Amino acid sequence: MPPAICIMRVVCFCLAACLLGSMFGLANVAWGAERLRVMIETDAPGGDPDDEGSLVRFFLYLNEWDVEGIFCTRRADQSRNQEDGQQCLLRFIDAYAAAWPKLRQHAPGYPSPEKLRSITYAAFRGTTARDALIAAVDREDPRRIWYVNWGTNDGNLTAMRQALDHVKATRTEQAYRHFADRLCFSRDADRTYHVTEHIPYLHQWVDTRNPDRWYHRFAPLTAKAGGFDLTRDVKTGHGRLGSYYTIPKEGDTPGFMFLIPNGLSDVSHPDWGSWAGRFVPRTDRFRREGFFWSDARDQWNGQSNRDNTLRRWAVHLQNDFKARLDWCVADYAHANHPPVPMLNGSAGPSPVEIIAAPGEAVMLSSQGSSDPDQQGLSCEWIYYPEPGDYQGDVSIQGARSPEAVVTLPGDADGKRVHVLLVLTDNGEPALTRYRRAVIYCRR
Ligand SMILES: [Ca+2]
Ligand SMILES: [Ca+2]
C-alpha cells in the first residue's frame, strides 16, 4: 500500500477507534483530557529520611497535577529532628518558594507557595486534615482523586482512613461506597492503620511497594543512571530545595512517578509501564479489577526480570530530574526542556489507537514533533510486547527514523500491539518524551 494511502487509513482508523473505543476496552484514557487531582501523605521527617528525597522530586513535578492536599503524619516527638511533619513540609514549601519564580519560567502550572501552604495539613492532630480530605472528595468535580501514601507513622491513622471511617460512620452504606469509589490509591495498605478494610470499595489501587519490597529497588536502579551524581546534580548549586535532599532511597517516589503524564504512563493502565516501572493485576487476597501491584517483568537487553520495567527508563527519568533542578536556578535559555512528540499528527500524551488487519503494514510518523529549545531530536520506535496481548515478534522498519513501518504478524488477529515512540533531544541533559501507538489487529 502506498504510504499516503496507509497514513489516510491510519487516520481513519484513529477516528474509528475513538468512536468505537469502548467496544475494545480502550475508552477512559485519561491523559491529555484532564489534569490529575493528587494528594500525598508523608511520614517526613521520620527516622528514615528518605521521604525528604522524594519531596524534592515531588515538588519539581507539581506543575503536572492539581495537588489538593499534603498530609503530614509525624508529631514532633516522633520525628528525628524535633520538627513535626507540618513544620517540615512548610520548610520545604519555603525552599520551593525561593525556586518558584524560576520554575515558572520553565513550565506553566506550578502552584503558588501560598496555595501549597493552604493545603498542607497535620493529620496527627484534630480533624482538620480529615475534613479537608472529605470536602475535596465531595467537591463537584468529575475527576477522582489520587491519594499517594508515602507511609503513615506507627500509631497515627492515615488521613484517608480517618476520612473513610468518618464517612462510613455518618453516611448511608451507599453514600459511603460512592465516596470510596471517588478515590484511587497508590502504595501499600497492609497494616491496620492503613485502609485495608476500605480497600474493596476504592476505585483503583496501585501498590508500588509489594510484593517483595519493590520500593527498595528505586534507588539501586536509578541513583547513578546516565552518570547522575547526587551531590553535583541535586544537593549543591541548585538552590535550597535541592539541598534538602537526604539519602538516595526515595522508597515513596514510585507512588507518584507513574502519575507523570510523559506519554509513557497511563493511569488507567498501570500495566502499560511508567517511570515507576510496570504493574500487573494483583494475584493475592486483594485481587480485583483495577487493583495492581509491582509484580511485572519485562524482557529487555536479553533478560526478563522485574528490574527491567524501571531500569529501561532510568536514564530518562534521572535526566528529567536533573533538568528540573537546573530550572530552580537557571533562566529559560540556560536549561533544557523536554521535546514535544507528535504521533501520526496527534499531539498530547494520550495513546493513539489504530485498527489494522493482520499482515498489514502500519506507518507511524513523528512528523510535527518539536523541541522548545530548537534542539535536534532522535527517534526510536520500540515494540513493547508485555503491555499488549501478542507476545511474538513484530518487525519495525525504520526503528530509528522519524517514520517507521510496523508489519503486523499474520497470526495477530484480535490482539493488541504496543509500539512506543521514544523522542529524545540533544540538549544537556538529554530529555525524553514518549507516545504510544496501540494497534488493534482485526480482520
Ligand atoms: Ca515514607
Ligand atoms: Ca530540549
Identify the nearest ligand to the CA of 319 by its number: 2
What spacing in Å lies between the alpha carbon of 426 and ligand 2's midpoint? 7
**Angle (CA) 114 74 133, round 5°:** 55
Identify the nearest ligand to the CA of 85 by its number: 1
Q: Which of 396, 443, 401, 392 is nearest to 419 (CA)?
A: 396
pLDDT at residue 145, rounded to an integer: 98
pLDDT at residue 154, rounded to an integer: 72
What spacing in Å lies between the alpha carbon of 150 and ligand 1's midpoint? 4
Task: Collect the ranges in the chain with pLDDT lower than 70.
Answer: 1-33, 192
Q: What are phi and psi of 205, to 5 degrees?
A: -145, 125
Identify the nearest ligand to the CA of 423 by its number: 2
pLDDT at residue 21, rounded to an integer: 34
What spacing in Å lies between the alpha carbon of 176 and ligand 1's midpoint? 28
pLDDT at residue 69, rounded to an integer: 98
Give Cα 287 to chain centroid, integer Å. Answer: 22
Domains of the chain and any CATH numbers: 3-28+338-441 (2.60.40.10), 37-311 (3.90.245.10)
pLDDT at residue 53, rounded to an integer: 98
**How far is Cα 37 from Cα 194, in angstroms, rounded to an integer?**
21
**How far is Cα 402 from Cα 420, in angstroms, rounded to an integer?**
13
Query: 88 in helix, strand or coil?
Result: helix
